[in-house]
Chain A
Amino acid sequence: MNFEYTEEQTLLRNTLSRYFADAYDFEARRKMTGSDAGRDAGVWTAMAEELGILGAAFSEEQGGLGGGALENMLIMEEFGKALAVEPYLSTVVVAGGFLKRSKSAAAEGMIEQLISGEAIVAFAYAEPTGRYDLAAVKTEAKASGGGYTISGQKSVVAGAPWATHFVVTAKTAKGVAAFLVEAGAKGISMRSYPTVDGGTAAEVQFDNVSVGADALLTAEDGIAEIELVVDEATVAACAEAVGCLHQLHAQTMEYAKERKQFGRAIADFQVLQHRMVDMFMEVEQAVSMTLMATLKLGEDAKARAAAVSLAKAKVGHACKFVGENAIQIHGGMGMTDELAVGHYFKRATILEGLFGSIDHHLARYEKLSF
């Protein structure tokens, strides 16, 4: 057993961490997320061109650096630490995840565009009534003229206004499949809005959107492939949460050592010490579970899904416990918009529900493990 990172992985982490420390501090982020666009497009370009990290998780044959899930984990963890809103999760982890496995001729060129930063992909999978069930899809893809016509509504599509493409899940004659659709295609309309965690999302309406046969990223009955890619994305979301959790804990300890009440630092009070110890234990277990699930992504579907759900439920619990206590220990200051801690709490809260709540994953784990 070996939990060491390779030299390349350590280098990747340090490069990104340094970049965020320089270019993406809390004030810079506030400016980006507060702007009309909701981000600074230069950050994405820098990631592609200066840092060259958008290809970290693709094989060398595909033009990447030869990494995979572990690289995604490292990158997402740094995203969590910096509260970065850039669409790495939907573009590289989700779209990249489908494209890597796709036999479509179009896929190769598309991966190139992802790595170079030209293409940004948003993942349109959630629907108004589907909740966390990936198969509960009402959006339809009807076969027509050798291709498909897609119609339906997708909810809370993160990063949609920035996207050049969408990965859309839709029902075919055989089952649920995933399609790659250009954002400018005729029949797509969206209504965009900010999200509570500083992100940008949209309701996206697909109205008889015509795509060719090569838009199909999975089998027509592709739920197994969708579950695999969403499991990868779920673990990546866990990794982002781990980054957030580290910050929530570190900032809380720092504050508790400085803040004085009743003539001494509040960190001197045993009740708060024990609380911070409990937070620490939650963070450490979240780290372990994320690592475990990342390493098990390659196992058979059942073992993989059980590992991912276990991790997501555990990490979700950590988000709630660590986040709520970080605010509580910060007292009134934790309630202000001015301090970073509240923004980490908000992101952790959204990550807690992303790709399934604690309950959803507990239920899935139960089903798979008894």
Chain B
Amino acid sequence: MNLDFTPEQIAFREEVRAFIAENYPDSLKSKLADSEELGKEDYLAWHRILAKKGWVAPGWPKEYGGPGWSTVERFIFADECAKADTMMILPFGINMVGPVIYTFGTPEQKARFLPRILSGDDWWCQGYSEPGAGSDLASLRTKAERQGDHYIVNGQKTWTTLAQHADWGFFLVRTDPDAKMQEGISFLLIDMKSPGITVRPIITLGGEHEVNEVFLDNVKVPVENRIFHENKGWTCAKFLLAHERTGIAGVARSKRGIEKLKQIAKTEQANDRPLIEDPFFRRKIAELEMDLTALEYTELRVLANEQAGKGPGPESSLLKIKGTEVQQRITELVLEAVGHYGAPYFRGFPQDGDNIYPIGPDYAHQAAPRYFNMRKTSIYGGSNEIQRNIIAKMVLGL
């Protein structure tokens, strides 16, 4: 057992760092720094650069276009991306549906979808949650009736992240209404341009249009777009959720978040001294770092298990709970750090040229919206209460 990186791993880190420094687009840097709202092309710019390099899907097996990295290399890559504040690669294609397709799909499905996920030509969204079925996913009611070589899909999905840009969606639908909860569900890939699909925005607490309602009204879906067997979609769903939860830990990004928090605390003044010298505030940052370090080494252990061919299993619930708690806590402390300047609301603002002086420091502009927005992390991907149930049942056997 050894915590040190090998010379090869250190060289790999240098390679990643150099690549990011040379290739990460300046336009994205300034947009993120100015908290500008991002368009579809902004989300995809970095994706396409990484795709060209063969690095966009670190977790995929080599035969499907992954880089063939070990879990430690993947960890290093994520770490370097976070340090450089690169855009997140959207998870719907790469981390969610991609692995489902290469694990459960037919050769035709793999050939048709995987290359376009890698290249960024298809933007994916996730059709899991419904108004009556959030954390209780298995009670979903969107139904798909078989008519010859098609399904006719009717129902409503919700919390569909960035569906306004999506070309394709992966949906859980009920194909056998008489079967028990999990038994009658299938996993369908649906072209979002199909007639009968309506996407309606949901505006969230921070004022963002990030999620949507998706209505499906007699949407015709070819049977060949079903992944795995009819009524066995729950197998795919569970597999995907376990993958989703590993990504949710977000250790590398949280490390970067704490660094930024420290920078802010060095800049902000409290009683004529930098806030970072306030013993209360220091203590809180220190505690947060402890929690993050505990999470980091737990994640490394989970990854090592995975490398040994076990997992990711229910222990990924632990990563989800602790990871989201740390992420939320960072945004809380940033908001606390900026004091009065957390209150101004900056959406679409200012352009009128009548600036007498800027309103507060740049790093304060998104402090409150981010704090509000990050409340979602303990709700989505199976709420943290549900994750605790999973640990109770699957790990502790209670």
A residues adjacent to B (C-beta < 8 A): 126, 128-133, 136, 153, 155-156, 189, 191, 193-197, 199, 201, 203, 205, 260-263, 269, 271-272, 320, 324, 327-328, 331-332, 334-338, 342, 345-346, 349-350, 353, 357, 359, 362-363
CB contacts between A and B, total, < 8 Å: 140
The total of chain B residues at the interface (CB under 8 A) is 56
How far is the CB of A262 from the nearest CB of chain B, in Å? 5
Q: At the interface, yes or no: B177 with Cβ under 8 Å from chain A? A: no
When A131-B271, A196-B368, A331-B379 are in contact, do A353 and B336 touch as well, CB less than 8 Å? Answer: yes
Q: A345-B372, A357-B336 are in contact. List 14 more A-B contacts (CB 8 A).
A: A128-B360, A132-B339, A196-B342, A196-B344, A199-B343, A262-B136, A269-B385, A328-B375, A328-B383, A332-B129, A332-B376, A335-B373, A337-B202, A337-B205
CB distance from A233 to the nearest CB of B (A): 15
Q: State A131–B139 Cα separation when bound (angstroms).
A: 50
Q: Which of B8-16, B77-85, B106-114, B351-359 contacts A (4 or more CB under 8 A)?
A: B351-359
Q: Is B378 touching A328 in the complex (CB atoms < 8 A)?
A: yes
**CB-CB < 8 A to A201: which residues of B?**
343-344
- Contact with A337, one of B139, B204, B339, B354 (Cβ below 8 angstroms): B204
Pairs A-B, 5 closest by C-beta atoms: A261-B136, A337-B203, A156-B340, A196-B368, A195-B343
Let me know if B280 and A359 touch, CB within 8 A.
Answer: yes
A155 near B341: Cβ-Cβ < 8 Å: yes
Taking a contact as CB atoms closer than 8 A, the residue among B134, B269, B356, B375 that contacts A189 in the complex is B356
Q: A281 vs B336: C-alpha distance in the bound complex, in angstroms? A: 24
Asked if A335 and B341 make an inter-chain contact with CB atoms under 8 angstroms apart, the answer reads: no
A191 touches B359 (CB 8 A): yes
Closest A residue to B270 using CB positions: A131
Known interface pairs A261-B135, A359-B278; A336-B271 also in contact (CB < 8 Å): no
Interface string of B239-282 (1 = CB under 8 A from A): 00000000000000000000000000000111110010010110
Whether the pair B336, A193 counts as a contact (CB closer than 8 A) is no
Query: Judging by beta carbons under 8 Å apart, are B281 and A359 in contact?
Result: yes
Residues of B within 8 Å of A336, CB to CB, are 202-205
- Is B349's CB under 8 angstroms from A155's CB? no
Q: B135 — nearest CB in chain A belongs to which residue?
A: A261
The distance in angstroms between the C-alpha atoms of A334 and B206, with both chains bound, is 12
Q: Which residue of B lies closest to A332 (CB)?
A: B159
Instruction: Output the least CB separation between B181 and chain A (Å).
Output: 10
Minimum CB distance partner of B347 in chain A: A194
- What is the bound-complex CA distance between A331 and B382, given in angstroms? 10
